[in-house]
Amino acid sequence: MNKGLVIIPTYNEKENVALMIEAVFDLSMQFDLLIVDDGSPDGTAAIVKHMQSIWPDRLHILEREGKHGLGTAYIAGFQYGLDKGYEYMFEMDCDFSHDPKDLEKLSNACAKDGFDVAIGSRYVDGLVNVVNWPISRVMMSIFASLYVRFITGIPVSDTTAGFKCYRRHVLETIPFNKIKFVGYAFQIEMKFTAWKYGFKIKEIPIIFTDRSRGESKMTRGIFQEAVLGVLQMRIYSLFRKYLRVEA
């Protein structure tokens, strides 16, 4: 079985990227790592390229000029992973809000338990597992997930989660050219699309810890984009067929 590929988009993450690379490679379960850097002016890409001398076969980087959005970064990473033959691909943040140790839980949900998509969930079984967020942001995130569930019907508690594992055939099925959103609404759209195609989704409880180094990329405008985008996405889905070829 091929190792999983962990895809981490970066922009100005020099304070975190080396620590994250070391943390992923220190895990007992082996993963490869792809950094997709959007022209960070702080030298993030240079740090990654220096560390490639330590892990030349496991650490990879895609450098892009300018900021093109979270969604396009992940799609570029997915395409890289598909081209290289990886069976499992993971989305993960660089700021340690996602614990690298939880990669093993997501991997087992897909590789051992047979799910197609595994989501590291902050809100599952009625719990709120978030550390160091102000209550206003927690409530905004919970409201967003409730709103998405109400509009779309998707049976996922943490619809905006950005910590996930996809099996290869999910990403081979989803037509990337039909994914409309490039910001954080991308996370919602990918889950919704996988669900509409009938893939099996599992939420895995995790503890989400807000970043302690570097600056957050989240803004109120990003939240508003997601709220408006969900309505547009739902309307669009009414006129679209979701047919897939079984693996």
What confidence tens digit (pLDDT) does each residue in 161-176 have? 999 999 999 999 999 9
pLDDT for position 2:
58
pLDDT for position 167:
97
pLDDT for position 215:
59
Helix residue ranges, H only, the chain: 17-25, 44-51, 70-84, 103-111, 135-152, 168-173, 185-196, 220-237
Q: What percent of the chain clears pLDDT 70, i.e. is strictly above it?
A: 90
Q: The pTM is what?
A: 0.91
The candidate with the shortest Cα–Cα distance to 6, out of 119, 100, 83, is 100
The candidate with the shortest Cα–Cα distance to 45, out of 55, 35, 53, 54, is 35
pLDDT(214) > 60: no
Higher local confidence (pLDDT), 224 or 142: 142
Residues 196-206 as b or e (16 or more Cβ within 10 Å = b):
beebbbbbbbb
The candidate with the shortest Cα–Cα distance to 190, out of 31, 64, 7, is 7
C-alpha span between 147 and 45 (Å, rounded)? 37
On whether the CB atoms of residues 228 and 146 are closer than 8 A, the answer is no
What confidence tens digit (pLDDT) does each residue in 27-37 have? 999 999 999 99
Give the lowest-confidence range in 66-80, 130-144, 171-185: 130-144
The candidate with the shortest Cα–Cα distance to 31, out of 57, 6, 62, 56, is 6
C-alpha span between 60 and 43 (Å, rounded)? 16
